[in-house]
């Protein structure tokens, strides 16, 4: 039974790969933030509760807060919207850091990897645990760069709620849309934080409109800004009709004034806030029947009498139902608006017990946890981040990994605090834990207490499945399947400094792959070289740097190449016979099949069997036949790229008695390759959806350059003082674009790339690619 569920998990991954076209994306930023030398940080964490003296009792309350008081939260946004700066402020105000980290100075807590500090971007998300006004917040800082989109997806799966951060001068940007869609997919309640209200060009209304239009969300304005850009001073709390001002004598923003708005001192602001509150009440009443009843019954005459708590409770319900999104604003850099954001996180986002995870009913309180991140620590070995859904986790406990069907023992249990970890004796459901000693667990695996508890859960799931097929399948998917892994669009060879170092390189790549499933490694069957496949130029560059820094290996990368695909345009029927004698045994098999275009797009070959093929034969050899077909389609006849959108129909297979199954598979594979070779062939290239944001003055050179890159411009939008060029461009033409764009626009433009589809190359482009390849090799 367990095996069948594992097969389900594996198949599910295959299915995911079939629709990767739409998921896979890559994005290259025009300019890295300041590169600077990495200075190792020494942070003073003595303020961390539980680390002071021997206060075991307080430590106990730290590690096991009531579940209703836990919030598992992520921060998501477009690159540079200010997620890391916001996280740093959150950590500072919650008392866990003593000084304000600064992305620009490279000393943030969550961006703790060396490259992150140097480049100023978040590469790997880090889980951070802290308390705010009696609530335990597990915050996961996710990367904004689309090359690391899998990191975002992986983290979203374990969140109960999220804060979407926006740049007030840009509104909704390309990557915001992607992460918003991912959050929709995982049904995650959200609140929006309009950041950078101090920045020139900041506009609260513009950002709210773009949330409404582009994200198709219903914004609930819980705050209004007091001033914008340079004039930004603070915010108005629409629910309580108070103004929150950060005074200039509190440089770190810790202290602020909260004062009721008065007719005498703030007539205009009061009028504006009253109007906004009335609109908010009407919006909430439209979305929540219970609140609508209350308002109609008791407060229809005067909304001012409606207590803030009643409104807040209804907003909490609406946020949970994802019927609308509360919107707040501030400036993380200028230390304004962060404390109310923390209040909103505790007030409006759900606790773990408010989230309905269907698969929990199968475990009946037994341990069930999901591994969402693996890190390799030189001293401690693999560190696995787990989200505990039910039961309790304890160190020295043997646990069962459902996906890998293995039992292993963790040695230590830690509470994650970026690169600081506190050792703890147990951790209950709802929390995020860090474990030491799990050597086989990889990202996306499900952990339970024992094999028998896994079997019990499987039985429950099957029973549930019979009753309600749909929801059980959904739950199985959640329980067992790994994270959907987009197919890489770039690849290159990687070589160790000497052959003797090949095993070290293999080890490093194995560890990195366990951490980052979007990194693919394969061997070139012809040259025997190791091939690195990644999500983008930056992704591969970072992996290269990590191998050097973390594993001490100076490796050499070959030129970066685009991952093309191949297909066929007509059907070809062919036969092949394999006749080989090994020792005293004769292996003889004859195959007849047809290869042609599939009716619909499919990454894997669509396989069919002619009626003449007997059931008996299929029962005995279907698996090896299909293995042969799949392996033949991995390397197309033109470039050796994977073949897609192809249908294979098997007409006959004649197997001589005593022939080994490996020979059957080899013959099928050879026959498919023969058919593919004979057919009319077509190369498919990755077509990227491109969005370039550029100052109006630089628009012309950007457009002229794109025209030379086979770009197809769809639309040019106006965003504040900038133009946003939206279109499509083949990936092969956009390699190294960041440098070109930087030169063309004096570093002022940014761009986002996302894989749109694989498109057929024109005969002319296809020929020139083939000529180029044949002259290179
Ligand atoms: N003016 C202004 N700048 C800000 C604000 N918040 C962040 N920034 C700046 O914006 C840049 C990006 O900030 P980060 O916090 O690194 O943004 P991020 O979203 O974490 O970026 P990635 O990790 O690369 O996705 C930095 O130069 C910050 O100093 C703000 O409130 N106002």
Residues 167-187: tens digit of each pLDDT: 999 998 877 877 787 788 788
Tokens of 290: 């219970």
Residue nearest to atom 32 of ligand 1 (CA): 196
Residue 471: pLDDT band (50, 70, 90) is very low
User: CA 245, CA 587: separation in Å to the nearest integer?
Assistant: 84
Of 547, 536, 537, the closest CA to residue 494 belongs to 547
Give the pLDDT score at 418: 47
Tokens of 613: 């093929």
Give the pLDDT score at 620: 81
- Shortest-distance atom of ligand 1 to CA 81: 19
CA 123 to ligand 1 centroid distance, Å: 14
- Shortest-distance atom of ligand 1 to CA 79: 25
Say how many Å lie between the first and final Cα of the chain, rounded.
50
Give the pLDDT score at 773: 80
Give the model confidence (pLDDT) of 535-572 as tens digits.
777 788 888 988 998 888 999 999 888 889 999 999 99
CA 334 to ligand 1 centroid distance, Å: 11
- Shortest-distance atom of ligand 1 to CA 29: 24
Give the pLDDT score at 6: 33
Give the pLDDT score at 474: 47
Give the model confidence (pLDDT) of 412-442 as tens digits.
888 765 456 778 888 888 888 888 888 888 8
**Are 357 and 387 within 8 A, CB to CB?**
no
Test site for ligand 1: of 84, 89, 170, 330, most ligand atoms within 8 A of the Cβ = 84
User: CA 630, CA 181: separation in Å to the nearest integer?
Assistant: 32
DSSP one-letter code for 761: P
Average pLDDT over residues 30-48: 28
User: CA 389, CA 435: separation in Å to the nearest integer?
Assistant: 15
Residue 485: pLDDT band (50, 70, 90) is low
Give the pLDDT score at 153: 65
Give the pLDDT score at 151: 61
Test site for ligand 1: of 74, 103, 112, 166, most ligand atoms within 8 A of the Cβ = 103
CA 79 to ligand 1 centroid distance, Å: 8
Residues in Cβ contact with 711 at an 8 Å cutoff, skipping those fewer than 6 apart: 690, 727, 728, 729, 733
Give the pLDDT score at 142: 64
CA 207 to ligand 1 centroid distance, Å: 17
pLDDT at 45 over 50: no
CA 85 to ligand 1 centroid distance, Å: 6
Name the residue with higher pLDDT: 573 or 772. Answer: 573
Give the pLDDT score at 104: 55
Name the residue with higher pLDDT: 755 or 20. Answer: 755
User: CA 218, CA 319: separation in Å to the nearest integer?
Assistant: 10
pLDDT at 95 over 60: yes
User: CA 549, CA 378: separation in Å to the nearest integer?
Assistant: 12
pLDDT at 483 over 90: no
Name the residue with higher pLDDT: 524 or 481. Answer: 524
Give the pLDDT score at 114: 52
CA 196 to ligand 1 centroid distance, Å: 8
CA 150 to ligand 1 centroid distance, Å: 21
Name the residue with higher pLDDT: 316 or 424. Answer: 316
Question: To which H or E segment does residue 193 belong?
Answer: strand 190-195
Give the pLDDT score at 124: 46
Classify each residue of 213-244 as buried b or exposed e, where b means 16 or more C-beta atoms within 10 Å of its C-beta: eebebbbbbbbbbbebbeebbbbbbbbbbbbb
Residues in Cβ contact with 725 at an 8 Å cutoff, skipping those fewer than 6 apart: 690, 691, 692, 694, 699, 702, 703, 706, 713, 715, 716
CA 104 to ligand 1 centroid distance, Å: 8
For 366-427, give the secondary structure using H, E and C: CCEEEEEEEEEECCCEEEEEEEEEECEECCCCEEEECCCCEEEECCEEEEEECEEEEECCCE
Test site for ligand 1: of 80, 199, 233, most ligand atoms within 8 A of the Cβ = 80
Measured torsion, CA atoms of residues 14, 15, 19, 20, in degrees rounded to the nearest 10: -30
Residue 12: pLDDT band (50, 70, 90) is very low
Checking DSSP bridges between strand 190-195 and strand 161-167, what pairing results, if any? parallel
Annotated binding site for GTP: 77-84, 141-145, 195-198
- Shortest-distance atom of ligand 1 to CA 195: 31
Percent of the chain with pLDDT over 90: 38
CA 83 to ligand 1 centroid distance, Å: 7
Give the pLDDT score at 47: 35
User: CA 354, CA 227: separation in Å to the nearest integer?
Assistant: 37
Annotated binding site: 77-84, 141-145, 195-198
Give the pLDDT score at 145: 52
SS3 117: helix
CA 622 to ligand 1 centroid distance, Å: 55
DSSP one-letter code for 672: H
- Shortest-distance atom of ligand 1 to CA 331: 31
Average pLDDT over residues 293-307: 87
**Are 691 and 726 within 8 A, CB to CB?**
yes
User: CA 152, CA 674: separation in Å to the nearest integer?
Assistant: 42
Mean pLDDT of the chain: 80
Classify each residue of 72-93 as buried b or exposed e, where b means 16 or more C-beta atoms within 10 Å of its C-beta: bbbbbbbbbbbbbbbbbbbbbb
Of 550, 536, 443, 516, the closest CA to residue 737 belongs to 536
Name the residue with higher pLDDT: 71 or 468. Answer: 71
- Shortest-distance atom of ligand 1 to CA 116: 23
Beta bridge partners of 128: 139, 417
Name the residue with higher pLDDT: 378 or 490. Answer: 490
Residue nearest to atom 24 of ligand 1 (CA): 121
Residue nearest to atom 7 of ligand 1 (CA): 82
Q: Which of 95-109, 130-144, 287-301, 323-337 has the lowest mean pLDDT?
A: 95-109
Checking DSSP bridges between strand 420-423 and strand 325-329, what pairing results, if any? unpaired
- Most confident by average pLDDT, 26-40, 190-204, 748-762: 190-204
Residues in Cβ contact with 704 at an 8 Å cutoff, skipping those fewer than 6 apart: none
CA 89 to ligand 1 centroid distance, Å: 12
Tell me the torsion sign for CA atoms 119, 125, 128, 132: positive
pLDDT at 477 over 70: no
Test site for ligand 1: of 89, 195, 333, most ligand atoms within 8 A of the Cβ = 333
Query: From residue 64, how far is each of 345, 391, 414, 674 by CA, in Å?
Result: 19, 12, 13, 63
Give the pLDDT score at 701: 94
User: CA 391, CA 133: separation in Å to the nearest integer?
Assistant: 26
Residue 649 phi/psi, 5-degree rounding, is: -115, 125
Average pLDDT over residues 661-683: 95
Residue 19: pLDDT band (50, 70, 90) is very low
Give the model confidence (pLDDT) of 113-166 as tens digits.
454 444 443 434 457 788 899 898 988 766 545 555 566 666 677 889 999 999
Average pLDDT over residues 330-357: 93
Test site for ligand 1: of 32, 82, 116, most ligand atoms within 8 A of the Cβ = 82
User: CA 651, CA 673: separation in Å to the nearest integer?
Assistant: 16
Give the distance from CA 520 to its chain's centroid.
Answer: 16
Give the pLDDT score at 37: 25
Ligand 1 pocket residues where CB is under 6 Å: 77, 79-85, 103-104, 120-122, 143-145, 195-196, 198-199, 331-333
Residue nearest to atom 4 of ligand 1 (CA): 333
User: CA 384, CA 405: separation in Å to the nearest integer?
Assistant: 17
Give the pLDDT score at 105: 57
Residue nearest to atom 5 of ligand 1 (CA): 333
Give the pLDDT score at 486: 64
Give the distance from CA 244 to its chain's centroid.
Answer: 35
Residue nearest to atom 9 of ligand 1 (CA): 82
Give the model confidence (pLDDT) of 583-602 as tens digits.
888 899 999 999 999 998 88
**Are 154 and 195 within 8 A, CB to CB?**
no
Give the pLDDT score at 315: 97
Question: To which H or E segment does residue 264 belong?
Answer: none
């Amino acid at each position: 039974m367990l095996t069948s569920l594992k097969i389900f998990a594996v198949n599910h991954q295959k299915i995911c790969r079939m629709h990767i076209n739409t998921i896979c994306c890559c994005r290259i930023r025009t300019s890295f933030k300041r590169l600077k030398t990495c200075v190792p940080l020494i942070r003073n964490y003595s303020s961390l509760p539980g680390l002071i003296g021997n206060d075991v009792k307080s430590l106990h309350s730290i590690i096991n807060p009531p579940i209703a008081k836990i919030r598992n939260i992520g921060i998501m946004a477009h690159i540079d919207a200010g997620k890391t700066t916001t996280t740093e402020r959150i950590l500072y105000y919650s008392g866990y850091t003593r000084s304000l980290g600064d992305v620009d100075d490279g000393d943030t807590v969550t961006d703790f990897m060396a490259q992150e500090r140097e480049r100023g971007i978040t590469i790997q998300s880090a889980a951070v645990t802290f308390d705010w006004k009696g609530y335990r917040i597990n915050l996961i800082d996710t990367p904004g760069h689309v090359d690391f989109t899998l990191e975002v997806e992986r983290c979203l799966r374990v969140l109960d709620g999220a804060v979407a951060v926006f740049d007030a001068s840009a509104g909704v940007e390309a990557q915001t849309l992607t992460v918003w869609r991912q959050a929709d997919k995982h049904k995650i309640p959200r609140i929006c934080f309009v950041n950078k209200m101090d920045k020139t060009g900041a506009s609260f209304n513009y950002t709210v409109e773009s949330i409404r239009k582009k994200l198709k969300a219903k914004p609930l304005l819980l705050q209004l800004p007091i001033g914008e850009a340079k004039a930004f001073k603070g915010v108005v709390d629409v629910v309580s009709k108070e103004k929150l001002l950060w005074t200039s004598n509190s440089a770190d923003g810790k202290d602020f004034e909260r004062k009721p708005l008065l007719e005498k001192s703030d007539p205009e602001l009061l009028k504006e806030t009253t109007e906004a509150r009335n609109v908010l009440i009407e919006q909430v009443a439209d979305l929540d029947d219970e609140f609508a009843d209350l308002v109609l019954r008791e407060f229809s005459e005067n909304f001012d009498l409606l207590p803030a708590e009643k409104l807040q409770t209804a907003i909490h319900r609406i946020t949970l139902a994802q019927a609308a999104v509360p919107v707040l604003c501030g400036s993380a850099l200028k230390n304004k608006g962060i404390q109310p954001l923390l209040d909103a996180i505790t007030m409006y986002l759900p606790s773990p017990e408010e989230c309905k995870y269907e698969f929990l009913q199968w475990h009946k309180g037994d341990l069930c946890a999901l591994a969402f991140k693996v890190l390799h620590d030189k001293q401690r070995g693999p560190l696995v981040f787990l989200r505990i859904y039910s039961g309790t986790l304890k160190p020295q406990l043997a646990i069962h990994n459902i996906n890998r069907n293995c039992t292993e023992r963790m040695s230590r249990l830690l509470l994650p605090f970026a690169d600081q970890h506190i050792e703890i004796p147990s951790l209950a459901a709802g929390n995020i834990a860090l474990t030491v000693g799990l050597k086989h667990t990889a990202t996306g695996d499900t952990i339970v207490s024992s094999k028998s508890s896994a079997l019990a859960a499987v039985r429950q799931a099957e029973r549930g499945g019979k009753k309600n097929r749909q929801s059980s399948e959904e739950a199985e998917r959640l329980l067992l399947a790994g994270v959907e892994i987009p197919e890489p669009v770039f690849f290159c060879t990687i070589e160790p400094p000497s052959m003797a170092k090949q095993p070290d390189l293999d080890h490093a790549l194995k560890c990195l792959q366990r951490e980052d499933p979007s990194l693919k490694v394969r061997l070139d069957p012809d040259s025997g070289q190791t091939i690195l496949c990644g999500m983008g130029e930056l992704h591969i560059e970072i992996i290269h740097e990590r191998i050097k820094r973390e594993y001490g290996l100076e490796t050499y990368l070959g030129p970066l190449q685009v991952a093309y695909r191949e297909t066929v345009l007509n059907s070809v029927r062919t036969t092949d016979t394999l006749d080989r004698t090994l020792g005293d045994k004769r292996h003889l098999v004859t195959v007849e099949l047809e290869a042609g275009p599939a009716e619909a797009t499919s990454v894997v070959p669509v396989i069919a069997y002619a009626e003449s093929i007997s059931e008996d034969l299929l029962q005995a050899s279907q698996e090896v036949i299909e293995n042969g077909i799949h392996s033949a389609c991995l390397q197309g006849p033109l470039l050796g790229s994977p073949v897609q959108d192809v249908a294979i129909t098997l007409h006959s297979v004649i197997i001589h008695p005593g022939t080994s199954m490996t020979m059957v598979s080899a013959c099928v594979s050879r026959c498919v390759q023969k058919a593919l070779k004979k057919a009319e062939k077509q190369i498919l290239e990755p077509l990227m959806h491109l969005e370039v944001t550029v100052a109006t003055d630089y628009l012309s050179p950007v457009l002229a350059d794109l025209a030379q890159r086979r770009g197809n411009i769809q639309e040019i939008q106006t965003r504040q003082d900038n133009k946003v060029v939206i279109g499509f461009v083949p990936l092969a033409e956009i390699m190294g674009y960041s440098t070109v764009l930087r030169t063309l626009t004096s570093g002022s433009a940014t761009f986002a790339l996302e894989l749109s589809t694989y498109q057929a190359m024109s005969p002319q482009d296809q020929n020139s690619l083939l000529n180029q390849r044949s002259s290179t090799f």
